[in-house]
Amino acid sequence: MRLCNHHRIHLISDEIYAMTIYKTPHNTTALPFTSVLAINNTADLIDPTLLHVIYGMSKDFSCNGLRAGVLLSPGNPTLLKSLKSVALFAWPASVTDLYWTTLLNDREFLDGYLEENSRRLGEAYMRLTGFLKEQGVA
């Protein structure tokens, strides 16, 4: 962050896999994801107008055809205002909008899905690494 600040470079944190966290027997202490926006005192490290986060929901929810994403830039209202002018031409499809709205408003389902997805990712990791070891690859 200091490097970006020093050279006036915009830091764009791509948090597309933010909720893709899983534990395995080899990694029982996997830490939850922390967004760059949740780091304390970032203003001491970088000008807030240079700090941005992008997030696309399709990866964490295995919905690659239902594209929807966000740009968060709480310290740069000028950027957000500029992007609003072109956002009118980039609306998501109505089915995509309905899907994500329904999903995100169902907290019970969302919590269960994320927990189950995490468990399954851990299982898939173990199967794949086990196979690779058997083949002498890993």
Q: pLDDT (tens digit, 9 = 90+) per residue, 13-57?
A: 999 999 888 888 888 888 889 999 999 999 999 999 999 999 988
Q: pLDDT (tens digit, 9 = 90+) per residue, 4-14?
A: 999 999 999 99
Give the three-state DSSP class for 13.
Answer: strand
Say whether pLDDT at 138 is over 80: no
The phi-psi region of residue 69 (left if phi > 0; otherwise alpha if psi is between -120 and 50; otherwise beta) is beta
Confidence of residue 87 (pLDDT cuts 50, 70, 90): confident
Confidence of residue 91 (pLDDT cuts 50, 70, 90): confident
Residue 46 CA from chain centroid, whole number: 21
**Predicted structure pTM score:** 0.81
Maximum distance among all Cα pairs of the chain, rounded to whole angstroms: 55
pLDDT at site 59:
86
pLDDT at site 53:
97
**Are 60 and 33 spatial neighbours (Cβ–Cβ below 8 Å)?**
no
